[in-house]
Structure 1
Amino acid sequence: MNLEFDCHSSFSPQLIREWSELLPKSTCHVPFLDPDYLAIWWETRGGGEWQEECQLVLITARYQGQLVGIAPLFYTPDFRGCPRLMLLGSVEVSDYLDFVVLPEYLADFCEQLLPFVRQLSLPQWEMLDLYNLFETSPTLQALTQTAQRMGGSTQTERAYRCPQILLPGDWEQYLATLDKKQRHEVRRKIRRLEASGFNTRWYRVEDGKHLEEEINAFIQLMEFDEAKKRFLTPPMRQFMKQVIRWAHQKGILHLAFLEIDGIKAAAYLAFDMLNRLWIYNSGINPGFWDFSPGWVLVAYQLQWANEHHREAFDFMRGDEEYKYRFGAVDRFLDRLIITLPNN
Structure 2
Amino acid sequence: GFWTSVAGSPILGPRLLAYLKETMAAYPERLFLHVMLASAEMREAYESAGFPTFHDPSKAVQALAAMVWFGKSFAQSKEKFSTIMSSKRAISCKFDEQDAKQLLASAGIPMVADATASSADAVREAMAAFDGPVAMKILSQDILHKSDVGGVMLHISGPDEAAKAYDQIIDNVRRHRPDLNVQSVLISPMAGPGVDMILGGKMDPIFGPIVMVGLGGIHAELFQDVAFRHAPIDADEATAMIDQLKARALLDGMRGEEACDIKQLADAIVAMGQFVAANTDGLLSVEVNPIRVSARGCVGLDALIEVKEIGDE
TM-score interval (norm. to shorter): under 0.3
Going by fraction, where is strand more abundant, 1 or 2?
Answer: 1
Q: Structure 1 length as normaliser, TM-score? A: 0.20
Task: Compare CA radii of gyration and give the structure with the larger one.
Answer: 2
What TM-score do the two structures reach when normalised by structure 2? 0.21
Q: Report 1 or 2 for greater relative contact order, CA contacts < 8 Å, sequence distance ≥ 6.
A: 1
